[in-house]
A = this chain, B = another copy of it.
Amino acid sequence: MIKPGHSKWKSKLHEIIYEADTPAGKLFDVLLLITILASILLVMLESVPSINNKYYHFFNISEWVITILFSIEYILRIVSIKKPKHYILSYYGLIDLLSTIPKYLSLIFGGAHALVVLRALRLLRIFRVLKITRYLGESNKLLFALKASKPKITVFVFAVVILCLILGSIMYIVEADADSGFISIPRSVYWTIVTLTTVGYGDIAPVTTIGQIIASIVMILGYGIIAVPTGIVSAEYTAQFKKTPTNTRTCESCGTEKHNDDAKFCHNCGDKF
């Protein structure tokens, strides 16, 4: 049997934690957002050796405070929801757990050697950032356009990778005898990706004439190929724009929408407009 009072308390908590429409819910979300940003900043600053040496204790305490706050939040989320299992196994449930446990794990896996592991564990807290996306209700159209262009983008990325493999292998043969960093095919492929994507570090650069000619071709290729994903997203996004019904004609008999501009009869029930 369910206690109505308890249920009411739970639903109130659910409203505050999961929704952002009430003032209390909004305040909670804003405070959570600030805490997440603060924790990310702490992790980043802690990784700077000079800063960490100075403020080690401050960082340690701050992290424990944030970890405990996040733990409480996690427990409250489980308590206030009707289907806790559903939440725990959801994308955000896992992220919430991952952003809480590293600090606790650092207690168990203590000792000198564990410190290296610790660093990696600590870093997992960066996933707290992903929580931020929860607060973005904007741009469903954009997501639809990206989803629609996903298979084409996949083919494109695949084609680019194959191209990089072939061009990298050719560069490996051409520049093999020159002392220019093309010491193996994987490294040559790495260079090709660096060049084709127009990043161009300059840590590896061709020195032979043929190498520079091929490099020029790779660059112009990369410069032109970038038009492909851009064209795909542009077209898909423009298409998303058009799908939005341009008129608001609704059949008075059956309520069907999306009639053509020049329609004289409803295409669903056949009634005259």
Contacts and interface: CB of A to CB of B under 8 A. Distances in A.
Interface string A139-171: 100100110000111111111111001100110
A47 B238 CA distance: 46
B138 A151 contact: yes
A205 B187 CA distance: 13
A185 interface: yes
A260 B256 CA distance: 11
Per DSSP, chain A at the interface is helix
A216 B193 contact: yes
Interface stretch (A21-29, A82-90, A100-108, A195-203): A195-203
B231 A219 contact: no
Interface in A216-273: 216, 219-220, 222-224, 226-241, 258-260, 262-272
User: Copies of this chain, how many?
Assistant: 4
A172 B47 CA distance: 9
A5 to B, nearest CB: 41
Contact of A270 (B152, B223, B270): B270
Contact of A123 (B127, B172, B201): B172
A66 interface: no
A219 B197 contact: yes
Interface in A23-77: 40, 43-45, 47-49
Contacts of A198: 197-200, 223
Contact of A269 (B136, B165, B170, B265): B265
Given A234-B234, A234-B235, 8 more contacts: A44-B184, A48-B183, A123-B173, A142-B155, A199-B219, A200-B202, A227-B233, A231-B232
19 contacts: A40-B165, A47-B186, A48-B185, A126-B166, A139-B152, A142-B228, A146-B228, A197-B223, A198-B200, A201-B201, A202-B203, A223-B229, A224-B229, A226-B229, A231-B232, A235-B238, A238-B241, A263-B267, A270-B272
Interface of A: 40, 43-45, 47-49, 119-120, 123, 126-127, 129-130, 132-133, 136, 138-139, 142, 145-146, 151-162, 165-166, 169-170, 172-173, 176, 183-187, 189-190, 193-203, 205, 209, 212, 215-216, 219-220, 222-224, 226-241, 258-260, 262-272
